[in-house]
Structures are given as structure tokens and as C-alpha cells.
Structure 1
Amino acid sequence: MAKKYYVVWEGHQTGVFTSWAECKKAVNNFPNAKYKSFPTEEMAQKAYAGNYETYKGKKIEEPALSSGALKLIGKPILPSIAVDAACSGNPGIMEYRGVDTETQAEIFRLSPMKDGTNNIGEFLAIVHALAFLKQRNLTMPIYSDSKIAMRWVQQKVCKTKLGKTADNAKIFELITRAEKWLQENTYPNRILKWETKAWGENPADFGRKDS
């Protein structure tokens, strides 16, 4: 089953959720809750910034790729590292990992941390992969399915709107370290978009699908 992203405009919690279980918790028993699922993170983020009425009652689908488009995209570059994050809530329990794209063998993982977001996890995962590869003088590319995190890495800053709390102090320490690493280091590795529509699920995906 394809991964979905859930937007909650009005509920116990609002935001973009990466699992149906968390979305359900945010809207269950909330009068006139407003929520909807989307096939991509980008579509979900755009919808959350907009108005529920724009999407109410409409079937939201990601356009299928033509055979020509599939040929143009090609196949993932190997060897490479694929990274992904998971967050149970927004904010919620956040973790991330990096895997060998070909074998799906786990290379690194951040243990679950409280009061984070999916975008922060994706950002930290990319920087972790960059540092890991630089330490080993490896030039292979890194795949991520988060355009937002890729943009933050390019800009060398995590532009999260998440507020600091006692629970997420460690996460903000990691953000500071990651931003410092980006400012002080260069790298030859390309950071590429994982083409889910062409290749299927990101190999680093945590497998938390909607029910």
C-alpha cells in the first residue's frame, strides 16, 4: 500500500501526519473535524497551508507517470544511501535511519526522541549520511523523499517552526550540530529525490502505513 500523508486542519492536534493511526487520534471524537489524506508530502504541506474547503469532497491523486517519464527517470544510482524519518504526531516521537539502497541493510539509526517533527528527522538524516560518507571518503549519492529537508540542507539551515521544549532539547542540539557541520564542510555527494512513483517505496521507509 502506498504511503499517505494526512492533513488535519481542525482536530485535537493539527498539522501533517505520516500515519493513519496518528491522524485518527487527532480527529477522533472532535466535533466537525476537518482532515484529508494526500499521496505526497509536498501536496499535504501545500494543502495544510491552504483551506480545507478547497479539497473537501475531491479525490486527490498523484498523476501517473508515462512510460517516457519512467525511462527518463531511469533507475536509482548504486551504490547509494537512502534516508527516511518517521514521526508519530506533529510534533511527536521522531526517529530516522539510513540504509543501503540496494540491500536495505541498515547503516545508521537515531533512536526515538520526543517532541520532534518529520521534516526535522529528514533533515538530520541527510546530514548524518553526509557526515558518515565524508568520514569514509565515499562519494556515493544520498536519496531522500523530502524536498523540504533537501532544501534546508542546501540552505544549510533547519527552518523548522517547532518551539523548543524540555522534551526536545536534545533534538535542537542535533540541529545545531548539523547546521554547524554544513557550514564547516563541503562534500561531493549528490542529494537526490527518491522517485517513489517510479521506484516504489523508499528503502529506508519505516513501514508505518495507514490502516
Structure 2
Amino acid sequence: MCRPTHGIATDGAHSTKNRLTRYRAVDISTGEELFSVSLGLQTINIGEFLGVVEAVKYIIANGYSPRTIYTDSTTAIAWFKAKRTASKKRNPALQKAEVFLKAFAAEVETIEVLHWDNREWGEIPADYGEK
């Protein structure tokens, strides 16, 4: 498969030093940042998952097409498909995300969340470039 040219790319970043977890999304075709959120001190998996959920909300709210999201996090994809996290951390953002995915399940299931292959395609466009 060739590098995707359309859809939304999401990524999370976590800095232990700065005690900061964040996530963002980028329109793959234009490179435009669609949103960027700082969570405070969480985990990389929480950031990656909330990035995917926020992208789902963005697609629904804005009628964005194609209804495709890419993430390089297999954990975020698994949590998204299960509509729940396996995180031991409980916080309002995670709880709201799980409720949203279940409440809007019919619409959520019309959105495709796919794995971004960093080896084949290079870093995901939403990458923070801090590695």
C-alpha cells in the first residue's frame, strides 16, 4: 500500500521531564493542524487514544471526508475498537471518551481507524518530532 494522501493523522506525545502528555491531528492532504490538546501528566497511550477519539468527533462535527483516521498506535486502535481503555488511570477525559464512543456507536462505526506504518511511510504527519 502506498503512503496515504487523504484522511486525518493523529499522534500523541509524552514528556516525563516536562510532565506533559498531548495529542494533535493533522489533515494529511493539506498538512493543516486540526487540533492540539495538552492533557497534563498522563500516559502516551492515553494521549494516542484521546487523539483518535477527538478526530472522530472532528469528522462527525465537520462532515470531514474521507472518514479515515490514521494512528501509529496499535493500543489506541485496540481501545477504539473496544470502545474502552485498559488504562488503570481514571480521569474525566477517558471516561467521556468511552461514553461518547458507546453513545454514538452507529456513527462511530462509519469511521475507519487504520494503522500508520512508520517503517513504510515515514513518521506520521501529526508527529511532534521529539524523538
Query: Given the two structures, how large is their TM-score scaled by the length of structure 1?
Result: 0.56
Q: Of 89, 99, 111, which residue of structure 2 is paired with 1:189?
A: 111
Runs of 4+ with >6 A deviation:
none
Pair 1:142-2:61 in alignment: no
1:103-182 maps to which residues of 2 (within 5 A)? 103-111=30-38, 113-140=39-66, 141-162=68-89, 172-182=91-101
Gaps of 5+ in 1: 1-72, 165-171
What SS does the aligned partner of 1:149 have? helix
Gaps of 5+ in 2: none
User: Does the Cα contact within 8 Å between 2:71 and 2:114 map onto a contact in 1?
Assistant: yes
The structure with higher relative contact order (CA 8 Å, sep 6+) is: 2
Larger radius of gyration: 1
Q: CA deviation at 1:138?
A: 2.7
User: Does the Cα contact within 8 Å between 2:22 and 2:40 map onto a contact in 1?
Assistant: no
Q: CA deviation at 1:139?
A: 4.1
Q: CA deviation at 1:195?
A: 1.0
Distance in 1 (CA, whole Å) between partners of 2:70 and 2:115 is: 6
Judge which range, 115-124 or 183-192, deviates more.
Answer: 183-192
Q: Of 9, 12, 25, which residue of structure 2 is paired with 1:85?
A: 12
What SS does the aligned partner of 1:132 have? helix
User: Does the Cα contact within 8 Å between 1:85 and 1:125 map onto a contact in 2?
Assistant: yes
Query: Given the two structures, how large is their TM-score scaled by the length of structure 2?
Result: 0.89
Give the letter for the 2:74 counterpart. Answer: K
Q: CA deviation at 1:86?
A: 0.3
Distance in 1 (CA, whole Å) between partners of 2:92 and 2:11 is: 20
Q: Percent identity?
A: 35
Distance in 1 (CA, whole Å) between partners of 2:26 and 2:128 is: 11
User: Does the Cα contact within 8 Å between 1:81 and 1:143 map onto a contact in 2?
Assistant: yes
